[in-house]
Structure 1
Amino acid sequence: MKPLIYGKSKIGPGTVIGDNVIIGYPSRSEMEKFEKNPEEIDGAVIGENCTLRAHGTIYSRAVLGSGVRTGHYYLVREGTVVGDNTLIGTHVTIDNNCKIGKNVSIQSGVYIPTGTVIEDDVFLAPNVCLTNDRRPAYLKEWKCEPVYIKTLATIAANSTILPGVTIGKGALVGAGSVVTKDVPDFAIVYGVPARRVGDVRDLIKKLDQSNLSERAKKIVSL
């Protein structure tokens, strides 16, 4: 099935859209307006030279910058802003009103809940789960406590970040960790619960300096 583009959606030049992609899907607050006249909802904004692969849904009032790439079966909810050249992997869910920076790598199976803030150059490995509710299903009115991830942080596969936690710039969270409190800048943490075990800058110094990635060089220069 060809892409479905709803409302006043805007798509930049050079963008490639795969089969079964829905752009500008109405949020709950827009559904009544959509049912009366689908052309009246705000729609989504997609930048230039994006690659949106098949079977994705991007809600109305979501904004994707230029050069964004996706896998398959992804969801980006309303009010979320994604920066330039960010990767959204297969089976990624990004809920509403999130702010995601430039050059972020969101690998397959990552869950990003409402209100999350992710700065530039962050790497989220497969199946990372961010959370925002300390008492799920127990209160009628719950308090949203978003996760904040600072620039150049890395979160390894299958890690869970609890509500309200800040991950410092350049920090590294080891695979399978459960992070229950803030992680300082450049700290290496892992475990259940995650505990500090080192400094990313010391780790980088031990590596082959002639083979460092641009990412590693940026961390050292911070």
Structure 2
Amino acid sequence: MDRWIHPKARIGDGVKIGLFTVIEEGAVLGDNVTVGNHVTIHADTIIGAGTTIADQAVVGRWPRPAQTSTVQVDTALSPLSLGEGCTIGTHAVLYRGSRIGAEVLVADHAFVREQCLIGDRVLIGRGVAVENRVEIGSCTKIQTNAYITAHTRLEEQVFIAPGVTTTNDNYMGRTEERFRHVKGPTVKRGARVGGGAILLPGVVIAEESFIAAGAVVHRDTEAATVYAGVPAKPLRRVPEGEMRGS
């Protein structure tokens, strides 16, 4: 047997399924979906028409935190849902309980945890980690090896450069007090964050802000302003020609 498809999975017209792939009970594959070799599609996952899933991806898996983890798994997580025309890369892992829009690219070795909400035409680059309870607006781009921590919100048309790190816990895992304050950054519409920058817990990056490479942002920024340094400080206004829609 070169593949296994549960009898209660629903497979649309024109679907192509590679070798040694497993499709579990209740999964729904829309028309013209392409599934590579050694892919696992977990129970109840919904995959939109025209989506491509590359070799050895894992789609719709349940979260399984460590025994010492503080993450509580919701036993009523909804199925993973992928919109039409998505591309899921090799070895990508997508968890149950998230909703991903149309024409989204999740590149090789990236993962998206549970209870994330991702808009249309989002790019999630190679090796990007998107933790649980993250919101990502449409047309946002997240480049290679960025880390998007839990409880982060990225609005529409945000740019996150390679190696950016977001954080959500000023207590770094100690004291019960931290649970009242865990919060990731909010990056507003059209803002850009340069390579290797670090956004500290709860900061708000205002619309059209430009965060220079290597900056450490510990306070909220002002709109359409360039920030650089450790800690980040305002330098000048963003040039008019770089503004969204100019």
From the CA coordinates, give the structure whose radius of gyration is larger: 2
Q: Same fold (TM over 0.5)?
A: yes
Aligned with 1:218: secondary structure? Answer: coil
Alignment-derived partner of residue 76 in structure 1: 112
Shift of 1:2: 2.1
Q: Which runs of 5 or more residues in structure 1 are unaligned? A: 34-39, 206-215
Question: Which residue of 175, 181, 200 maps to 2:213?
Answer: 175
**Cα–Cα, structure 1 residues 106 and 30, in superposed 2: closer, same or farther, change >3 Å?**
same
Instruction: Report the AA paired with residue 171 of structure 1.
Output: S
Alignment-derived partner of residue 91 in structure 2: 55
Contact 1:9/1:42 (8 A) holds in 2: no
Q: TM-score, normalised by structure 1?
A: 0.85
Alignment-derived partner of residue 244 in structure 2: 218
Aligned with 2:59: secondary structure? Answer: strand
Contact 2:82/2:99 (8 A) holds in 1: yes
Shift of 1:153: 0.2
For residues 132-211 of structure 1, what are the structure 2 equivalents within 5 Å?
Answer: 132-140=168-176, 142=178, 143-200=181-238, 203-205=239-241
Kindly provide the CA deviation profile for residues 106-140 of structure 1, in whole angstroms up to 9, marking residues without a partner as x. 00011011111110000000000011001102224
Instruction: Report the AA paired with residue 86 of structure 1.
Output: V
Shift of 1:154: 0.2
**Cα–Cα, structure 1 residues 41 and 192, in superposed 2: closer, same or farther, change >3 Å?**
closer
For residues 9-20 of structure 1, what are the structure 2 equivalents within 5 Å?
Answer: 9-20=45-56
Contact 1:9/1:44 (8 A) holds in 2: yes
Alignment-derived partner of residue 112 in structure 1: 148
Of structures 1 and 2, the one with the larger relative CO (CA 8 A, separation 6+) is 1
For residues 121-132 of structure 1, what are the structure 2 equivalents within 5 Å?
Answer: 121-132=157-168
CA RMSD across the alignment: 1.8
Structure with the bigger percentage of helix: 1
Shift of 1:7: 1.6
Aligned with 1:196: secondary structure? Answer: strand
Instruction: Tell me how far apart the structure 1 counterparts of residues 78 and 207 of structure 2 sit (CA, whole Å).
Output: 35
Shift of 1:141: 5.2
Alignment-derived partner of residue 18 in structure 2: none
Shift of 1:27: 2.2
**Cα–Cα, structure 1 residues 158 and 61, in superposed 2: closer, same or farther, change >3 Å?**
same
Instruction: Tell me how far apart the structure 1 counterparts of residues 243 and 185 of structure 2 sit (CA, whole Å).
Output: 26
Residue 112 (structure 2) pairs with residue 86 (structure 1):
no
Instruction: Report the AA paired with residue 95 of structure 1.
Output: E
Contact 1:6/1:41 (8 A) holds in 2: no
Instruction: Tell me how far apart the structure 1 counterparts of residues 49 and 245 of structure 2 sit (CA, whole Å).
Output: 34
Kindly provide the CA deviation profile for residues 68-97 of structure 1, in whole angstroms up to 9, marking residues without a partner as x. 012210110100011100000011000111
Which stretches of structure 1, 4 residues or more, deviate above 2 A after TM superposition? 27-31, 40-43, 140-143, 216-220
Kindly provide the CA deviation profile for residues 122-168 of structure 1, in whole angstroms up to 9, marking residues without a partner as x. 00000000110011022245231221000000000000000010000
Q: TM-score, normalised by structure 2?
A: 0.77
Instruction: Tell me how far apart the structure 2 counterparts of residues 137 and 217 of structure 1 sit (CA, whole Å).
Output: 39
Aligned with 1:169: secondary structure? Answer: coil
Percentage identity across aligned positions? 30
Aligned residues: 201
Q: Which runs of 5 or more residues in structure 2 are unaligned? A: 1-36, 65-71
**Cα–Cα, structure 1 residues 155 and 30, in superposed 2: closer, same or farther, change >3 Å?**
closer
